[in-house]
């Protein structure tokens, strides 16, 4: 199976879930919290004409205020901590946080130093971890599928409370 | 030639030279602290050698050997594959050293970096603000000093960062970042504008500073290769090869010829996907999405090829100390076929771009960097070559298989976005031809030399990455990394953007930025 076929199959499944849940696109705000940029290279690859993730209802937005989900990369550096927290606080509930890449999951090769904190979950609850350094585009799509299932659970919980 | 040169320098400064060490193509001269500026100025202005790197080391532990103090190294790149390294000693009790920035603007950030990381003070520096640490970092803590524990978590203190101010009627500021609208790395830009034209831009970086140089010091050599690959994500191969070459030089090992050819192929594949990506970025920002889609497709094609050839879309895990991990000989036909299709498609794309007046209108004369500015700041890579700087490490200090292969180094004088786009386009053709040449000349041999023991020593390792020259200076002692200085090309090129945007309009900033293709992570580390 070619990469294109894999993407097509996973993308269709993802699309059905998103449509059923939102009736619109899933909006994602990407935050680089100190990555090496390779994770960004792969997120950007998802928008190239070969993957073209937008056609499956994945929309990368410019502001956290428009986002359903934060996709965070990097080990969270001391110098990005505040900006990441501000972005998190600006995202409306119910929100999802996805840690993408080994760095975001647990600090990766940068670990814990005077300048690197060792992962996103030190600062906020993380819903889905996507390992890989960087994760391949297929892995990112799979991670998004898991995340969409989670948001469904979150919405139910909110409804029950209400 | 190089002996004569060294003799001339020694004659000129005999009384100031305290010590001399020669190792491979590196000539170290320890000089009097007070004479450093004069000597560096002579090398730079009289002999015309570019200053490529300044870094410090903490050698206080050598106290008993009477040599215990900090050292600052100034590295110059000379003709005929020689590097001259001027060294000065700086005592802990008098941590000042004379600034070089007035004479050589390229020294600016290096000196501020040394101030933040070692606590040595560049006396008379025109801009002595902090560079890497933010205002909330406590005074008196210097991470690259040997007595600083890497896991220290300093408390946040109160402080304020003062931006340059431009005042006048109708002048206002636009702050941008660190979190940007697009999927890009974090950094802060502060524009002072009057209407559309930009009067001043101040960049503020180091949001992604992770303490990489300190991390090297607690890592095994094999693991350190993986760290080098992750300094600037899309320049993985270039960083890994530069690091490996430095270690191999210390070990005195000449890696097998086949490994050299394979490294060359990897480095050129990296250049291809980066250049396609940069051209796509420029097309996006001039609102030419058709061209951007076309270029992005080419980039993806190369990344998929990378995966088929090496197992990694970003060419990771291939390089190792002593050679490469995997042979690629059996993939030759597949690569050649793919290269032909890339070449054909790329020619079509460039015809489209060149013949589109809406593209030309946005990129010609936009974001000019004069040759003078480029030389003063030591702008490297395609950005430098587009401003008339005829530098390319592959040709000037050959490594891997480059001295065996024929290629041209395009140089254009105009210095605008158009020139930077064209330099990349020419380089794409050169890369395609280099990969073909390397594949057809692939020598039969082992692909990795086993290195048993690495002796103590230090050496430079370097490559010409898609963004420009990468330098590593590695010092090994007892089989461990004592110091690893990394200089990514973006550390040189970032300052140039403050000049490139002047008198341009704000909407052209993204194009100028893309055309310089700057790495944040490589810069901040
Ligand atoms: S996970 Fe790997 S690829 Fe992603 S930012 Fe970290 S080091 Fe880079």
How many residue pairs from chains A and B have C-beta atoms closer than 8 A? 128
Are B107 and B187 contained in the same domain?
no
Has residue B308 been placed in a domain?
A: yes
Are B305 and B446 contained in the same domain?
yes
The pairing of strands B323-324 and B121-123 is unpaired
Split at pLDDT 50, 70, 90, the class of B64 is low
The pairing of strands A58-60 and A26-32 is parallel
Per-residue pLDDT, averaged over A40-58, amounts to 93
Partnered with residue B53 across adjacent β-strands are B75
Are B321 and B341 contained in the same domain?
yes
Has residue B497 been placed in a domain?
A: yes
Are B190 and B251 contained in the same domain?
no
| Nearest Cα residue to atom 6 of ligand 1 | A103
Domain count, chain B: 3
Closest to B44 measured CA to CA, from B103, B126, B108: B103
pLDDT score of B68 more than 90: no
* Residue that terminates a domain, selected from B181, B204, B227: B204
Q: What is the CATH number of the domain that holds B291?
A: 1.10.645.10
Task: Identify the residue whose tokens are 């130093």.
Answer: A113
3-state class of B26 per DSSP?
A: strand
Q: What is the C-alpha separation between A136 and B312, in angstroms, rounded? A: 9
Q: What is the model's pTM?
A: 0.95
Has residue B135 been placed in a domain?
A: no
This model of the complex carries an ipTM of: 0.93
Tokens, residue B385: 């070559």
Query: Tens digits of per-residue pLDDT, B95-140?
Result: 999 999 999 999 999 999 999 999 999 999 999 999 999 999 999 9
3-state class of A26 per DSSP?
A: strand
Per-residue pLDDT, averaged over B70-76, amounts to 95
- The three-point CA angle B77-B82-B87 to 5° equals 65
Has residue B303 been placed in a domain?
A: yes
Query: What pLDDT is attached to residue B403?
Result: 93
Give the whole-number percent of chain A exceeding pLDDT 70.
100
Query: Tens digits of per-residue pLDDT, B197-254?
Result: 999 999 999 999 999 999 999 899 999 999 999 999 999 999 999 999 999 999 999 9
Are B232 and B283 contained in the same domain?
yes
Are B184 and B260 contained in the same domain?
no
Min distance A162 CA to chain B CA atoms (Å)? 34
Has residue B103 been placed in a domain?
A: yes
Q: What is the C-alpha separation between B299 and B165, in angstroms, rounded? A: 41
Boundaries of domain holding B34: 2-123
> Do B183 and A113 count as a contact with CB atoms less than 8 A apart?
no
Are B94 and B189 contained in the same domain?
no
Are B192 and B226 contained in the same domain?
no
Query: Tens digits of per-residue pLDDT, B434-448?
Result: 999 999 999 988 999
Fold adopted by A3-13+26-146: Rossmann fold (3.40.50)
Query: Do residues B93 and B125 lie in contact, with contact meaning Cβ atoms separated by under 8 Å?
Result: no
Query: What pLDDT is attached to residue B180?
Result: 87
Residues 6+ apart with CB under 8 A from B151: A112, A113, A114
* Residue that terminates a domain, selected from B204, B228, B251: B204
pLDDT score of B481 more than 90: yes
Q: What is the CATH number of the domain that holds B102?
A: 3.30.460.80
Are B19 and B63 contained in the same domain?
yes
Has residue B154 been placed in a domain?
A: no
Query: What pLDDT is attached to residue A154?
Result: 81
Min distance B291 CA to chain A CA atoms (Å)? 11
Q: What is the C-alpha separation between A67 and A92, in angstroms, rounded? A: 7
| Nearest Cα residue to atom 1 of ligand 1 | A101
- Chain A CB contacts of B212 under 8 Å are 110
Instruction: Tally DSSP H helices, then E strands, for chain A.
Output: 5, 5
What's the DSSP call for residue A116? Answer: B
Q: What is the C-alpha separation between B278 and B283, in angstroms, rounded? A: 9
Q: What is the C-alpha separation between B59 and B64, in angstroms, rounded? A: 11
Query: What pLDDT is attached to residue B1?
Result: 62
Query: Do residues A51 and A137 lie in contact, with contact meaning Cβ atoms separated by under 8 Å?
Result: yes
Are B41 and B181 contained in the same domain?
no
Closest-CA residue of chain A to B207: A79
Are B62 and B182 contained in the same domain?
no
pLDDT score of A113 more than 80: yes
Has residue B72 been placed in a domain?
A: yes
Has residue B160 been placed in a domain?
A: no
Task: Identify the residue whose tokens are 């704000």.
Answer: B506
B475 CA distance to ligand 1 centroid (A)? 26
Are B112 and B185 contained in the same domain?
no
* Residue that terminates a domain, selected from B156, B180, B204: B204
Q: Which of A35, A37, A71 is the best mutation target for the ligand 1 pocket, counting ligand atoms within 8 Å of the beta carbon and taking the most?
A: A35
Query: What pLDDT is attached to residue A157?
Result: 83
Q: What is the C-alpha separation between B205 and B510, in angstroms, rounded? A: 17
Query: Mean pLDDT score of chain B, rounded to an integer?
Result: 93
CA distances for B261 relative to B379, B402, B403, angstroms: 28, 8, 11
> Do B210 and A110 count as a contact with CB atoms less than 8 A apart?
yes
Q: What is the C-alpha separation between B307 and B181, in angstroms, rounded? A: 30
Query: Tens digits of per-residue pLDDT, B436-480?
Result: 999 999 998 899 999 988 999 999 999 999 999 999 999 999 999
């Amino acid at each position: 199976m070619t990469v294109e076929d894999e993407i097509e199959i996973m993308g269709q499944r993802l699309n059905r879930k998103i449509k059923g849940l939102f009736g619109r696109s899933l909006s994602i705000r990407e935050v680089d919290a100190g990555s090496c940029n390779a994770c960004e290279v792969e997120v950007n690859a998802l928008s190239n004409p070969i993957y073209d993730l937008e056609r499956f209802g994945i929309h990368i937005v410019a502001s956290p205020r428009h986002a359903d989900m934060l996709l965070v990369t990097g080990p969270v550096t001391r110098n990005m901590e505040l900006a990441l927290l501000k972005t998190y606080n600006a995202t409306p509930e119910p929100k999802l946080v996805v840690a993408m890449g080994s760095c975001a999951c647990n600090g990766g090769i940068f670990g814990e130093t005077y300048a690197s904190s060792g992962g996103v979950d030190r600062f906020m609850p993380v819903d889905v971890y996507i390992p890989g350094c960087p994760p391949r585009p297929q892995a990112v799509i799979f991670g998004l599928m898991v995340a969409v299932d989670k948001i469904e659970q979150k919405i139910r919980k909110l409804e029950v409370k209400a | 030639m190089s002996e004569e040169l060294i003799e001339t320098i020694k004659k000129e400064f005999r009384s100031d030279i305290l010590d001399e060490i020669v190792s491979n193509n590196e000539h170290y001269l320890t000089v009097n602290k007070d004479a450093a500026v004069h000597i560096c100025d002579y090398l730079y202005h009289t002999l015309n050698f570019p200053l490529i790197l300044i870094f410090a080391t903490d050698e206080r532990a050598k106290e008993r050997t009477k040599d215990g103090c900090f050292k600052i190294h100034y590295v110059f790149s000379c003709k005929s594959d020689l590097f001259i390294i001027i060294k000065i000693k700086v005592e802990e009790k008098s941590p000042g050293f004379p600034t070089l920035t007035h004479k050589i603007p390229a020294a600016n950030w290096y000196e501020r970096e040394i101030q933040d990381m070692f606590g040595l003070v560049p006396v008379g520096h025109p801009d002595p603000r902090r560079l890497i640490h933010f205002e909330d970092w406590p005074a008196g803590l210097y991470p690259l000093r040997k007595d600083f524990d890497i896991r220290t978590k300093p408390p946040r203190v109160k402080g304020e960062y003062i931006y340059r101010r431009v005042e006048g009627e109708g002048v206002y500021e636009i702050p941008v970042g660190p979190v940007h609208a697009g999927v890009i790395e974090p950094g802060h830009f502060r524009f002072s504008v009057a209407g559309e034209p930009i009067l001043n831009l101040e960049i503020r970086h180091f949001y992604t500073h992770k303490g990489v140089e300190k991390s090297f010091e607690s890592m095994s050599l094999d693991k350190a290769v993986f760290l080098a690959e992750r300094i600037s994500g899309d320049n993985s191969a270039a960083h890994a090869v530069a690091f490996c070459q430095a270690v191999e030089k210390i070990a005195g090992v000449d890696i097998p010829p086949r490994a050299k050819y394979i490294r060359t192929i990897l480095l050129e594949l990296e250049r291809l996907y980066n250049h396609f990506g940069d051209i796509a970025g420029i097309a996006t920002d001039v609102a030419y999405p058709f061209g951007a889609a076309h270029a992005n497709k080419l980039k993806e094609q190369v990344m998929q090829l990378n995966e088929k050839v090496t197992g990694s879309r970003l060419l990771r895990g291939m390089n190792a100390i002593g050679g490469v991990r995997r042979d690629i000989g059996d993939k030759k036909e597949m690569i050649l076929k793919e290269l032909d299709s890339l070449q054909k498609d790329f020619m079509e794309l460039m015809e489209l771009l060149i013949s589109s007046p809406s593209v030309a209108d946005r990129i010609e004369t936009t974001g000019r960097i004069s040759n003078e500015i480029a030389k003063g700041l030591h702008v490297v890579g395609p950005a430098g070559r587009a401003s008339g700087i005829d530098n390319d490490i592959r040709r000037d200090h050959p490594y891997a298989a480059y001295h065996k292969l024929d290629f041209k180094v395009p140089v254009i004088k105009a210095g605008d976005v158009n020139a930077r786009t064209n330099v990349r386009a020419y380089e794409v053709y050169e890369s395609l031809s280099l990969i073909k040449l390397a594949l057809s000349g692939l020598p039969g041999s082992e692909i990795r030399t086993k290195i048993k023991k690495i002796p103590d020593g230090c050496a430079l390792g370097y490559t010409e990455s898609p963004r420009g020259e990468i330098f590593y200076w590695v010092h090994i002692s007892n089989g461990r990394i004592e110091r690893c200085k990394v200089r990514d090309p973006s550390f040189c090129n970032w300052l140039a953007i403050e000049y490139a945007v002047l008198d341009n309009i704000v909407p052209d900033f993204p194009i100028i930025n893309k055309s310089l293709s700057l790495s944040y992570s490589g810069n901040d580390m």
